[in-house]
Amino acid sequence: MQAELRDREDDGGMAVAGAIARWTKPMALAPSRIGQAEVLHRLLRAVVVSQPPTDVLSETRLAVRSAGHFLRCARHLATYRDWFGNAAHVALREEIALRPALLTLAIHPYLNAEWPVARKLAAIGAHYDLLHGKLDFLRFARADTLVLADIGEGLGVRLEKLAKFDHEGELVISLFCGERRIYCLAFTLGTIGPQTVAYAGALQGANSEDALAMYRTLTHRLEKMRPRDLLITAFRLLCASLGVARILAVADSHRVCSRPYFKSSVRVFSSYDSAWTECGGTARGDGFFELDPGVARRPAGETPARKRAQYRRRYVLVDACARQIDEAIAAARAAVLEPMRRGAADGATDRVPDGASCGGRLATPIRWNVRDS
């Protein structure tokens, strides 16, 4: 029986291999477009590097699985060819060069579990298309983190890129206690009409035995503001500083981390719906909650008299955080735009070569940290 199953797998693998061969047949293309065979070759390479090691799956099963993923990607060949052949997608090609598996994200859960493949591809492309001009500094290297604010009490807010959130957002804003990451929010930028939008795809706390006690202690020190709410507040302030007009945060029913694809995950999930609602979000009918960038203040008349002093201190903390985030973003923008201006003045035609990272080309000092891992 086992031999028969192996024969069937081999036959299936040969059939898929034949289909791959048909897909890779070259065709005549306009000079401005990258060749179909070259795009398919890159897709195949991305599929292979994104697969688990051979000690998890047998070589035959791995080959069949890789071929299946490749064919699913190849159905959207026109989009991938545009990514590689359109001059507007420079930042996207930079990221693909550093992270080939990005090409395969769309055939797996990404940001909203109900999005079809075409919608996921559009979301990924839209994010990287925004990373130019004033948002060019967001093309920093994965080894770098941008320090956004020092809140006090050993707490800090940083902007980074984390592999474990690859399916939930291209950027991560994190709350640190010392050098310990205690809360993260993953998001992807995009557009709806003329407006810039931030899609929040994940909100994750610390997965440790002392997490609850730590959060209680910090809540007491932060004028009764929970660390989770502080991070969401910092995220909203960051969005306002980036020029984001709307925030769409994924609902529990549509979050990708609860899907079978992540069945081996050991992460602990809290309620997204409660978090967004308690921070002023309103439910929509498309699997998202909508929040406003920036932070609205409760009128003094609606605050109990015994809590007014506490709220004043809390707003002082939030104002300081907002000021630091604005300053960090302004410094990062200036550090990237200044060498671009000098290059234009000197008659340079190329901004930076593909594959260069923002973290390594900053001209003025800003608060970058380099992670060990």
Q: What is the DSSP track for 254-281?
A: G-GGGSGGGTT-------HHHHHHHTT-
Q: What is the pTM of this model?
A: 0.81
Which tens digits make up the pLDDT trace of 234-284? 999 999 999 999 999 999 999 987 766 665 544 545 799 999 999 999 999
- Residue tagged 């609602």 (tokens): 277
* Distance, CA of 218 to CA of 209 (rounded, Å): 16
10 — phi, psi (to 5°)? -60, -45
Question: Where does CATH 3.40.630 sit in the chain?
Answer: 134-360
Mean pLDDT, rounded, for 354-363: 38
- Structural class in CATH, domain 134-360: alpha beta
For 89, 161, 361, the CA distances from 370, given in Å and listed in that order, are 27, 12, 14
> 368: pLDDT confidence band, cut at 50, 70 and 90?
low
pLDDT of residue 61: 83
Lowest mean pLDDT across 53-67, 80-94, 225-239, 359-373: 359-373
pLDDT of residue 269: 56
Share in percent of the chain as helix, strand, coil (round to 5): 50, 15, 30
Of 119, 131, 188, 182, nearest in space to 156 by CA: 182
**What does the alpha-carbon distance between residue 176 and residue 158 come to, in Å, rounded to a whole number?**
8
Among the listed residues 242, 230, 116, 256, the one whose alpha carbon sits nearest the alpha carbon of residue 191 = 242
Span 37-65, mean pLDDT?
81
